[in-house]
Amino acid sequence: MRQDHLISAGQLSRSDVETVLDRAAELDAALEDGDPSLRERHAGAVLALSFFEPSTRTKMSFDAAMKRLGGRVVDMGGVDSSSVKKGESLADTVRVLEGYADGLVLRHPREGAAAMAAEFVDIPVVNAGDGAGQHPSQTLLDLYTIRENAGLDDLTVGVVGDLKYGRTVHSLATALTEFDARMHFVSPESLQLPRSVRFDLHEAGAQLREHTELEPVLDQLDVLYVTRIQRERFPDENEYRKVAGRYRVDADSLNAAADDLTVMHPLPRVDEIAPEVDEYENAKYFEQAHNGVPVRMALLDLLLRNE
Amino acid sequence: MRQDHLISAGQLSRSDVETVLDRAAELDAALEDGDPSLRERHAGAVLALSFFEPSTRTKMSFDAAMKRLGGRVVDMGGVDSSSVKKGESLADTVRVLEGYADGLVLRHPREGAAAMAAEFVDIPVVNAGDGAGQHPSQTLLDLYTIRENAGLDDLTVGVVGDLKYGRTVHSLATALTEFDARMHFVSPESLQLPRSVRFDLHEAGAQLREHTELEPVLDQLDVLYVTRIQRERFPDENEYRKVAGRYRVDADSLNAAADDLTVMHPLPRVDEIAPEVDEYENAKYFEQAHNGVPVRMALLDLLLRNE
Amino acid sequence: MRQDHLISAGQLSRSDVETVLDRAAELDAALEDGDPSLRERHAGAVLALSFFEPSTRTKMSFDAAMKRLGGRVVDMGGVDSSSVKKGESLADTVRVLEGYADGLVLRHPREGAAAMAAEFVDIPVVNAGDGAGQHPSQTLLDLYTIRENAGLDDLTVGVVGDLKYGRTVHSLATALTEFDARMHFVSPESLQLPRSVRFDLHEAGAQLREHTELEPVLDQLDVLYVTRIQRERFPDENEYRKVAGRYRVDADSLNAAADDLTVMHPLPRVDEIAPEVDEYENAKYFEQAHNGVPVRMALLDLLLRNE
């Protein structure tokens, strides 16, 4: 990977993605074995976490990843108690943080924030989400989970839920076009893929079909990627319940699906997947969350060694 | 200790308690000596702190304990900025955290939360307080402090203050019955031991007596355990002042007590113990707080090695 | 340095200051070289951060410094979730923290808090700001930055901005009198040096002059130290704008100054320095912020070894 920063999943070629996933697999095995050399790997290195928006899970996962590599972490903490509140620009903030650390993980509500930060500092910047923009480490851990379970070749993926606001989904779909995956998008009409995303996917040569019902496509899928439908998106509670109920994945859904269907979800879930599905062997959403650690270890390992 | 989790003090036999206290004493001595092997003891291990309710002191003490053992810590942070706010269940949250760490310390406002968490994960869970339920590491550090100062044999303990809402006190009293301690409970009538706790203590064979005045029993005590009386418990300020004043421990109280009376308090204190008592040789409440570190080191050491 | 604590810049003789700055220079070089012995230097030591007032930057800088020395850090977190809220005294809080750590960094809104804390504990206390009082590590990093860039001999320093409320400035000015620096203070009349500070500086033999315009003195300066003017200090927005505009440092200011003028600012800045100045070779405010790490490493190194 000849990158200095990780700003968007789109910047990564198929071969870059494979480099990250291969490294993640090595590190995952080393974790599993309790390999003591892991904790010397980035001993002495310091990573700064700068989250302008809360995201405990992503933050903890980067935090654990750096610590599993033997490194240290310093955290900017909430924005309320920081210089940002006094009117400091993002460019100034990241230039100060640069003096404290060897790498920077940034989450910011404004699209383009990470790319901008990367222009101002000489240490690697990892985008941990910028508004409606990118969240590339999530995409990489999704790809890693798919590769570990269903493989990335000759793949059919179904994505169900909120396809309009789901940044995770857009980014994953873009990445999957690199692997010639077939994609089925299932959502209520009001939460379909935005026109611009659909256009970009078509431009990228994506093989995609859109549906309003899940059942008819279920048995064709290798992977079912479920996303949360937010109550706030609906004008009234009844409308929400109807939609949420329609896409809920439960034991019946699994009966209608291929035996080895891999079920994924970026979590947190609310009601989209029934608890009974947790017992199903190929329910991989917790494994998917756990994969955040080896995948982020791989990213940090590749970027910090790049220096 | 053949436990996988530490959920309640009640789960620990007298011999389990002694195993923990003995290990704590060893680690305490190693800390005192600056033994460099300590920091290799759990190097590479990661502990997750998951506090659904604030408790800075308990959290810092677990944090310091893990770090003194050479381990790393990841912290879920406040609940406001976490997936919990989006409606995630506790079972889901702990199953995600399991992927980040080798052990989990949980504090939660709901009684039974830690026991439930322990059913869902394969890493050791330590209960750091669950509502009106248990807070076993506090009980263990209290026992450790008593053992170091007064010994646990042939012991007479007085507990004064809020005995109604004081979870700490109920749990300590239960544990002390294992050591055949004699107990005197001193409180205003409105803050007496709850009937159910009194019943359970009697069932466990506790030797206990209840009083409304401290003075008459003072000279019989080896240990005086003072607890905070919260202003909020009283309908009016005057009532509170009268009670708070009646049980305040000061130089006069010490004169009426045995020479080697050990004075304890779980802290924070407000006015229950006069500052002049701090100078008294057997005022052990700060030592008691400090004992949180070796005792929690012992717990983590025993549980993380159990894996 | 024969100090047990660092409470005020005033406690440091010129020779003490030089000891800290020399140690900082050594550690800075070791950081630059990636010297692996650094991370063994305080391995096993734990530093407690106790910030009763938010100050992310100072906190992160101490955090990074301790970690660069191989040590660990435990953080009390916000005051809202701590025992302080239950009415605990500062003396009690620090005596509890003493049991968790080998050193204590304290920030507190009350002047004199750090000195008081130092009386109650046996571990080194570093004052990271106490109300209108001292913030000595800031002064030391300012001196370090001046020494690295302009030298501390035969020095002329201009300080511009809010001289009334700027604690940083008072403390730096006091320290500079030890080095016989010439000082020019530039501010609107409403934000001049407080009478008491002026008096103390004169008593200390300071060579100081006060001005309302920056331009006339610019070409005499080796160092220009710019401070933020807070909007809240002005009765109305127009008044603020007039003043802020008058002292704004931009390309024109640099043209009127000596070629090697060092420009400093404690950051965060808002509009006091135009972004175009960032490109100027001797704009040293980001370097100044970064110097917080080696200088705080030096302080911790000297104090923790003192034990």
We report the CATH number of the domain holding residue C95 as 3.40.50.1370
Give residue-wise pLDDT tens across range C248-265.
999 999 999 999 999 999
Same domain, B155 and B273: yes
SS (H, E, C) A102-146: CEEEEEECCCCHHHHHHHHCCCCEEEEEECCCCCHHHHHHHHHHH
Same domain, C108 and C179: no
Asked if residue B306 has pLDDT above 60, the reply is no
Neighboring chain B residues of C80 at a CB cutoff of 8 Å: 54
In the predicted model, what is the mean pLDDT of residues C125-147? 93
- Supply the pLDDT for residue B307: 46
Neighboring chain C residues of A49 at a CB cutoff of 8 Å: none
Tokens (6 digits) for C194:
């407080």
Asked if residue A3 has pLDDT above 80, the reply is no
- Supply the pLDDT for residue A120: 97
- Residue C2 belongs to some domain of the structure: no
Contact indicator for B64, B49 with CB cutoff of 8 Å: no
- Residue B2 belongs to some domain of the structure: no
Q: Which of A31, A37, A57, A60 would you mutate first to test chain B, the one with the most B CBs within 10 A?
A: A60
ipTM score above 0.85: yes
> Is C270 close to A86, i.e. CB distance below 8 A?
yes
Same domain, A120 and A33: yes
Give residue-wise pLDDT tens across range A39-72.
999 999 999 999 998 888 999 999 999 999 999 9
Neighboring chain C residues of A117 at a CB cutoff of 8 Å: none
B187: left (phi over 0), alpha (psi -120 to 50) or beta: beta
> Is C81 close to B39, i.e. CB distance below 8 A?
no
- Supply the pLDDT for residue A229: 85
Structural domain tally of chain C? 2
Structural domain span for residue C105: 9-134+292-306
In the predicted model, what is the mean pLDDT of residues C194-216? 94
Give yes or no for C44 touching B (CB within 8 A).
yes
Same domain, A59 and A129: yes
A59 is catalytic: no
- Residue C301 belongs to some domain of the structure: yes
Asked if residue C175 has pLDDT above 60, the reply is yes
Neighboring chain C residues of B60 at a CB cutoff of 8 Å: 48, 74-76, 97, 100
Contact indicator for B139, B106 with CB cutoff of 8 Å: no
Q: Could you tell me which residues come within 8 angstroms of residue B71 by beta carbon, excluding any fewer than 6 positions away?
A: B42, B43, B44, B45, B46, B47, B300, B304
- Residue A220 belongs to some domain of the structure: yes
B107 is catalytic: yes
Asked if residue A232 has pLDDT above 80, the reply is no
> Is C290 close to A99, i.e. CB distance below 8 A?
yes
Give yes or no for B72 touching A (CB within 8 A).
yes
Q: How far is CA B275 from the centre of its chain?
A: 23
Sign of torsion over alpha carbons C288, C290, C294, C295:
positive
Same domain, A277 and A146: yes
Q: Which of B27, B51, B56, B73 would you mutate first to test chain C, the one with the most C CBs within 10 A?
A: B56
Percent residues over pLDDT 90 in chain A: 79
Question: Using 50, 70 and 90 to split pLDDT, how confident is the model at B224?
Answer: very high
Same domain, B204 and B259: yes
**pTM of the predicted protein model:** 0.96
- Supply the pLDDT for residue A238: 86
- Length in residues, chain A: 307
**Nearest-Cα residue of chain A relative to residue C71:** A72
- Supply the pLDDT for residue B302: 96
Query: Which of A239-248, A262-271, A284-293, C292-301 has the least mean pLDDT?
Result: A239-248
- At B112, phi and psi to the nearest 5? 90, -5
Same domain, C195 and C281: yes
> Is C44 close to B38, i.e. CB distance below 8 A?
yes
SS3 C124: coil
Question: Using 50, 70 and 90 to split pLDDT, how confident is the model at A307?
Answer: very low
- Residue A3 belongs to some domain of the structure: no
Same domain, A155 and A58: no
Same domain, C54 and C147: no
- Supply the pLDDT for residue C63: 98
Give yes or no for A101 touching C (CB within 8 A).
yes
Residue B264 pairs in a beta bridge with B225
The closest alpha carbon to C156, from C244, C260, C273, C268, belongs to C260
The active-site residue, picked from B5, B107, B147, B248, is: B107
- Residue B1 belongs to some domain of the structure: no
Same domain, A57 and A44: yes
A42 is catalytic: no
Asked if residue C148 has pLDDT above 70, the reply is yes
- Residue C4 belongs to some domain of the structure: no
Same domain, A177 and A236: yes
Question: Using 50, 70 and 90 to split pLDDT, how confident is the model at B21?
Answer: very high
- What's the rounded Cα separation, in Å, for the pair B72 and B99? 14
Same domain, B268 and B141: yes
- Residue B46 belongs to some domain of the structure: yes
